[in-house]
Amino acid sequence: MRQPELYIGLMSGTSLDGVDAVLVDLAQPQPELIARHYLPFDEELKSELLALHHPDHNELHRSQLVANRLARLYAQSVAALLGKTGIATARIEAIGCHGQTIRHCPEHGYTLQIGNSALLAELSGIRVVSDFRSRDIAAGGQGAPLVPAFHDKVLRHATIHRVVVNVGGIGNLTDLPPNAPTSGFDCGPGGLLMDAWCMRHLGQPYDVDGAWAVSGEVLPALLERMLDEPFFALPPPKSSGRDLFNMTWLESRLKGDETAADVQATLLELTCQGIARAIRKHCRGAQEMYLCGGGAHNSALRARLATLLPKCAIDTTDSLGVSGDFLEAIAFAWLAQQTLQGKPANLPAVTGARHPCVLGAIYPA
C-alpha cells in the first residue's frame, strides 16, 4: 500500500479576497484533494494591502506588521484544514505558501511576497516553503506565471490542444499544445479592475455573474484607450500585477462623463479581449479552453469568451478533476514538493529565465 505524501498549499492572490488553503496527497502524478478551506480577508486588511502597493509613509514597518498578521491567518487556515481531517501536523511534509504580493518588478530584478514564513513555521509546527518567484527572477525571468508548470503536469492532453486560463485579479494563460512545449504568460487584467470599480460604485466586492456589466454598454473609445496600453503589445514572456493595472491606471483613461455601468461593461470587454487576442495570436489551433479562478464563475465573461473564440470549447478545470477555485493553492503545494525534492519547477519558455531553477526558500518547523 502506497504511503501518502501530504502537503498544504496556501494562496492569497491579486484579487485580495482571502486565503485559499488545501490539503493534498501528492504521492501520485494526479494530486488528490483531501480538504480545502477559504478564509476571507476583512476590509481593514484588504485596505492596508492595497495601500502597500504604493510608496507611502513608514511602509517598511507597516508591511512587516501586515506580514505577521498574514502569517497568523495562514496558520488559522492550516489549523482549520487539519481540524477537518484529524490529520496530525507531523504527517505534513510541508506548507507551500505563495505569500501576498505587494510589489512585482522583474524589470528591476525583484518581486516581494509578504507573509512571514518563519512565523508561520513557528505557529503551525510545519516546515514552510515560500518565496518561489525570486530564484526565477535571479536567473533573468519574470518570476511569473509559475502555475503553468503544474498545468503541464496535470492538465495536458496527448492529442488535444488545450489552453488553461486563470481569471484571478490578473488574467494569465497556459498553452498546452500536443507534441510541443508548454508556454504561458500574463495577458492583462482579470477581475481586479472590475472588482475595484464595483466596490467603488455598488459597495460590493465583485459583479455577480457580470450582471452589472451586462446592464451597461461597451464604450469603444474607452476600450481602445485601454488596449493601447503597451503591455498588451509586448511579446511573451511577460507578467504584470497591481503595479500597472490599478485604479490610477483606469482613471487616467476616463473622460469623466461615462456612466458607471458602461465603464464596468468596458472593463469586462477589456478582460475578454485581452484573453481572446492572446489566444488567437499565441495559441493558434487551440481546441479547448479551461477556466479557473474567480472569473470562471462570471457567466457573462464566459459567454463573451465563447463569442470571441467560437472554435474553442469552453469549460472549467473542475471538469478535468481539478478544482478551479483552489487550483493555484494545489499548485503551490506541488511547488513545495518540487523544492524539497530538489527539482526545477520553473519553465524558462514561460518566465524567460536563462535556465530551469529549483524554486523557493525553506523554513524548518
Which pLDDT does position 294 carry in this prediction? 93
Q: What is the DSSP letter of 19?
A: E
CA 278 to chain centre: 17
Same domain, 131 and 205: no
Which pLDDT does position 242 carry in this prediction? 92
Could you tell me the three cell numbers for 169?
A: 485579479
Which residues pair with residue 94 across a beta bridge?
Answer: 7
Q: Is residue 20 part of a domain?
A: yes
**Domain termination residue (choose one: 320, 339, 354):** 320
Beta carbons within 8 Å of 255's beta carbon, 6+ residues apart: 222
Same domain, 167 and 307: yes
Which residues pair with residue 18 across a beta bridge?
Answer: 40
In the three-class reduction of DSSP (H, G, I as helix; E, B as strand; rest coil), residue 93 is classed as strand
| Residue 73 to residue 19: CA distance in whole angstroms | 8
- φ and ψ at residue 253, rounded to 5 degrees: -105, -5
Full-prediction pTM beyond 0.75?
A: yes
Q: Is residue 57 part of a domain?
A: yes
The per-residue b/e assignment along 110-135, b for 16 or more CB within 10 angstroms, e otherwise, is ebbbbbbbebbbebbebbbbbbbbbb
Sign, CA dihedral 263-237-175-319, equals negative
Same domain, 233 and 93: no
Same domain, 38 and 87: yes
Count of the separate structural domains present in the chain: 2
What count of Cα atoms within 13 Å lies in the side-chain half-sphere of residue 125? 7
Which pLDDT does position 1 carry in this prediction? 65
Domain that holds residue 57: 6-143+325-363
Same domain, 27 and 61: yes
Q: Is residue 348 part of a domain?
A: yes
Same domain, 218 and 299: yes
Q: Is residue 149 part of a domain?
A: no
Same domain, 212 and 300: yes
| Residue 5 to residue 321: CA distance in whole angstroms | 19
Same domain, 163 and 89: no
Cα–Cα nearest to 123, from 96, 91, 99, 89 = 89
Q: What is the CATH number of the domain that holds 65?
A: 3.30.420.40
Sign, CA dihedral 164-39-170-339, equals negative
Same domain, 44 and 64: yes
Same domain, 286 and 352: no
Same domain, 98 and 179: no
| Residue 111 to residue 101: CA distance in whole angstroms | 8
Q: Is residue 39 part of a domain?
A: yes
Q: Is residue 150 part of a domain?
A: no
Give me the tens of pLDDT residue by residue for the chain, a chain 365 residues long: 679 999 999 999 888 899 999 999 999 999 999 999 999 999 999 999 999 988 888 999 999 999 999 999 999 999 999 999 999 999 999 999 999 999 999 999 999 999 999 999 999 999 999 999 999 999 999 999 999 999 999 999 999 999 999 999 999 999 999 999 999 999 999 999 999 999 999 999 999 999 999 999 999 999 999 999 999 999 999 999 999 999 999 999 999 999 999 999 999 999 999 999 999 999 999 999 999 999 999 999 999 999 999 999 999 999 999 999 999 999 999 999 999 999 999 999 999 999 999 999 999 99
Q: Is residue 271 part of a domain?
A: yes
Same domain, 192 and 219: yes
Q: Is residue 1 part of a domain?
A: no
